[in-house]
Structure 1
Amino acid sequence: MAEDTYLLTMINTIESLQDKIKTLESRILELKFHEKQLELVIESTAVGIWDWQVQTGELVVNERWANIIGYTLEELGEVSIDTWMKYAHPEDLKESNRLLEKHWAGKTECYIFETRMKHKRGHWVWVYDTGKVIEWESKSVPKRMIGTHLDISDKKEYIAKLDAANKKLMAFSYVDSLTQIPNRRAYEERFLSIIGSAKRSQNTVSLLIIDVDHFKKYNDYYGHEKGDEALFKVAQAIKSVLTRKTDFVARYGGEEIVVLLPFTTLEGAEITAEKIIQRIMDERIEHVHSQYDGMLTVSIGVASTSSQFDDLFDHADTALYVAKNNGRNRVEAYSNYQPPIRVLSPSPTP
């Protein structure tokens, strides 16, 4: 009876072990299947894999890791963390170490860094480097990390081209397409910048408002295409007079052009304005409705201040009005002591 019980127990144990073995074999097959799937995924995504024993410096990498920098595993030979150090850009190592230490301190879920590695052909390859500690020696002391390398050189090149295109686009957004000088948006930003600087340094800023005389009549007689050509010539002529890097010219709107002259007194601004008047006359742009030798002319209002910056534009505009009333093709300056009175004369035509 005891022998029968023993045999029955043994049979049950063997059957139980056989079931467990079958379960383990099934799991092994399943793991192998998933391992194969993972290999296929890694291969299809062209990801380099690294496995780093942090304390000993041992490093295991796959073929793709080597391929990213132009080598085969065989060419690299025995690899270690020194291999990474050898091919990493010297300027990137400090930041890489900082991010690793941050991860080891538990401040980040994983290590992520865009770095450069030296390619076999001599150029630098941009690599998206990610990793995570999977085993610890003790708190904040990593034992083993695994991670990936992804070649993002094309992405970096694309981003660089995109940035360049955006900069060009931004530059275009500040340029008047007709006259090829800065537009009103650029003027308003520059005005705030110049005024801010003048307030801090207590310097004088002058403003010229320039208006093409009888421009509506010009357009009506010669056509808008010729009008555009004339406006372009006027803008470029004004620009040619301004020799200082600090001087700024912009199309304010229509046939009106503004010039900002930082560090310039009223007298100095008047001299510049007179030069512009003469420069426009020298262009000899025909205008049958002009009383000045049948040539296109401009009128200029000038204002200057070292304190009343909010009134600067209005003062220059007032002076322009007086220039128009006084016969055009002339410069008028706004005086704080004898401000022009606009209501005494009828409104001049453009």
Structure 2
Amino acid sequence: MSDKTTPVNNRQENDHERLELIINATGVGIWDWQIQTDELTFNERWAEIIGYRFDELDPIKFDTWASNLHPDDLIRANELITQHFNGDLEFYEVEARMKHKSGHYVWVQASGKLVEWDIDGNPKRMIGFHLDITDRKKAEERMILASQLLNESQRIGKLGGWELDIKTGDLFWTEETYRIHETTPDEFNPTVDAGVDYFLPESKIVIAKALDEAIKKGVGYDLELETYTTKGRKIDVRTTCTVSMEDGVPVRLVGIFQDITEQKNNQRKLEKSNRDLSVANSALKLSAHYDQLTGLPNRNLLSDRLEHAMAKCIRNKKYIAIAFIDLDGFKVVNDTQGHDAGDELLKKVATQLKHTLREGDTLSRFGGDEFVAVIDDLTSPSESNLVISRMLESLSSSIPVGDKLLKTSASIGVTFYPLDNASPDQLLRHADQAMYIAKQEGKNRSYIFDVERDVAVKHLNEELNRIAQALKNQEFVLFYQPKIDLRTSDVVGVEALIRWQHPEKGLLSPASFLPAVEHDILDIEIGKWVINTALKQLQTWQAAGHNIPISVNISPMHLQHSVFVNDLKKKLSNYPQFKAESLEFEILESSALKDIELVSKVMKECEKLGVRFSIDDFGTGYSSLTYLKRLPAKYLKIDQSFVRDMLFDKDDTAIIQGIIELAKIFDLKVIAEGVETPLHGELLLSLGSYLAQGYGIAKPMPENEFLAWLVKWEHAPYLVDGSK
């Protein structure tokens, strides 16, 4: 009997071992619940799932197991157990979180079934298993998150997807595709035909053809079309298609469906803006290059065409005539007939002038009633004469404007390039200058610019600029020429004479630069510098104990300037130690005659400030006795030309004698310039003139040399030949 039972027992033991191996290999935790005693037994894997060793948990109660469940999952687990006990569920199955020994939760799939009941039918025993599904749940969570992110991304990007099974005809839409069509899966069953029907007519033709090509030939597409949503709202969409093939036959279409309404609207706005901008640019370009009133090229285009014409004429060895045209009396038309009539006249003038020019010539409206003609490709300057004559003739007539005939004429200034080898802007200025001369000479005529005269003007401007720079750089100095009393040899004063210490040319006399500034504002600036320098010198000498009056030359322009006296007051206020009659102004006899009233007034106001006057170069002008009487001067300076020749010219001696007698009548003192020898001094004394200056006494000297000369003179005065 024992021989028969042993194999069975061995077989059972082997089966039990194999079952354990299988269970351990699958990683399943086994549990056995004695319901009525609440005892729960389990295998080692069950304990490992929640981080324990087998001996740490065996045995435990059901309540211990329940306390390890996540609170949110415990309610559901109890409900399912109850339903299983009641026979509502064949199996108990739940996915729940159990607390791990380390404190975190792991996901388990718990499955079980009642296997025993007591005699009263109450549940007695339940067995089951736990499977660790933590990794699976994490993967599911990641998939859910990825799906949510995908859906959110599709929502934000308004980018849906679709898939068509060609064999079955099933069409799948993603959530965003439904949203784009303003519908839901419950409201709309997507089909190819239904989807195509929503497209606008032109787009419907395109998408139908594209789908047909994809289904039959496997050709994908990427299209931008217009469609309606299920609510009737028109939208712009981008739809694409990628074809999957099997054995060379299309089986599946996959693509995207994107709402691009906003982008297309922005694109349309941008395109409209670009069109508007293009129109504006065209208008701007037109206004930038053409005159709005006459339609002629304006200054900008004229400059461009003139530059091209100049370059071409140099290459071809030809000439260009630049004619500056100005209507005579146009302001009168505007003032009497109104601006509308003036504008109409300008348009008709432009038309008439264009008809006088040759093909290839340019007529431009320069501004106002000014026009410029560029007469190109001339073999000689005289070839332009006929064109200029035609322009004058066309404008020296009556032009109908409204119901009136307006008489017109024009003045034209002309210059020729490259005879006038200037820049485009300078050529226009030269023609403009010539036009003004034509007006000055009687209007209704032309005048050709004088290039040689312009060169002289340019040279003068360059000279003036250099003189102004010299004044700024303090290159000017004062030299001093003594004045003496022939009777006593006393020094009674000095005349301050300007010199230019040129850095390249050396010391320059006044004759080399003062004529250039005679009619320029620089004349006044130099005069101010001389007065300032003389006042500083006076202060220096007075501080050193030398009370020597200084006389300076004042130009007519400076003397008659409106602020001359006020400027002098300000200057003298800077020298509180200034002594009356220590400063003297020498003015030319001719300058005093131009405005005797003004000059007399200025001289009187200066006398109140302690400044004396001399009339310089007396005898060379045309003074009347009345003028001489009205000028409050203290000295007459006899011009050196008379003094120098008096030794051998009786007429000069007579003139000097007359000036001396005239001075006595008007209570004026006489100073003789040009004293070069002792004989000059002796003769002057015999005639009754005892104040003198000249090379025979001393040449003009810089300040330091003058002081050295003064010491020698005071010790032993002498004339040039050494006589006392």
Residue equivalent to 1:320: 435
Larger RCO (CA within 8 A; separation ≥ 6): 1
Q: Contact 1:175–1:182 at 8 Å: present in 2 too? A: yes
Deviation digits for residues 247-294 of structure 1 (CA, Å, limit 9, x no counterpart)? 2222222221111223234223222122222222455358xxxxxx97
Separation in 1, partners of 2:313, 2:340: 40
Deviation digits for residues 138-160 of structure 1 (CA, Å, limit 9, x no counterpart)? xxxxxxxx9x9986974456524
Report the AA paired with residue 259 of structure 1: A
Closer, same or farther: CA 6–36 of 1 in aligned 2, 3 Å: closer
Residue equivalent to 1:36: 151
TM-score by length of 1: 0.58
Deviation digits for residues 52-94 of structure 1 (CA, Å, limit 9, x no counterpart)? xxxxxxxxxx999xx699325523416999867xx9xxxxxxx
2:372 to 251, 258, 264: 258
Separation in 1, partners of 2:161, 2:386: 69
Deviation digits for residues 315-338 of structure 1 (CA, Å, limit 9, x no counterpart)? 323432332233322233336579
How big is the shift at 1:22? 2.0
The answer to whether 1:170 aligns with 2:285 is: yes
Residue equivalent to 2:355: 240
Closer, same or farther: CA 163–329 of 1 in aligned 2, 3 Å: same
Residue equivalent to 1:5: 44
Identical residues among aligned pairs (%) = 22
How big is the shift at 1:200? 5.0
Report the AA paired with residue 376 of structure 2: P
Residue equivalent to 2:385: 270
Separation in 2, partners of 1:184, 1:281: 25
| Secondary structure, aligned partner of 2:447 | strand
Q: Contact 2:412–2:447 at 8 Å: present in 1 too? A: yes
Separation in 1, partners of 2:217, 2:314: 61
How big is the shift at 1:218? 2.7
Closer, same or farther: CA 34–199 of 1 in aligned 2, 3 Å: farther
Residue equivalent to 1:70: 206
How big is the shift at 1:208? 0.7
Separation in 1, partners of 2:353, 2:161: 60
* Number of aligned residues: 263
Q: Contact 1:301–1:333 at 8 Å: present in 2 too? A: yes
The answer to whether 1:309 aligns with 2:445 is: no
Separation in 2, partners of 1:23, 1:6: 21
Q: Within 5 Å, which residues of 2 pair with 1:44-123?
A: 70-72=206-208, 73-77=210-214
Report the AA paired with residue 278 of structure 2: D
TM-score by length of 2: 0.31
| Unaligned 5+ runs, structure 1 | 50-61, 88-116, 120-127, 129-145, 287-292, 343-350
For the pair shown, which has the larger CA radius of gyration, 1 or 2? 2
Residue equivalent to 2:300: 185
| Secondary structure, aligned partner of 1:309 | coil
Separation in 1, partners of 2:148, 2:161: 21
Q: Contact 1:174–1:182 at 8 Å: present in 2 too? A: yes
Closer, same or farther: CA 285–304 of 1 in aligned 2, 3 Å: farther
| Secondary structure, aligned partner of 1:26 | helix
Q: Contact 1:250–1:259 at 8 Å: present in 2 too? A: yes
Separation in 1, partners of 2:370, 2:281: 29
Residue equivalent to 2:34: none
Separation in 2, partners of 1:328, 1:172: 32
Report the AA paired with residue 74 of structure 1: L
1:300 to 381, 396, 412: 412
| Secondary structure, aligned partner of 1:32 | helix
Closer, same or farther: CA 294–182 of 1 in aligned 2, 3 Å: closer
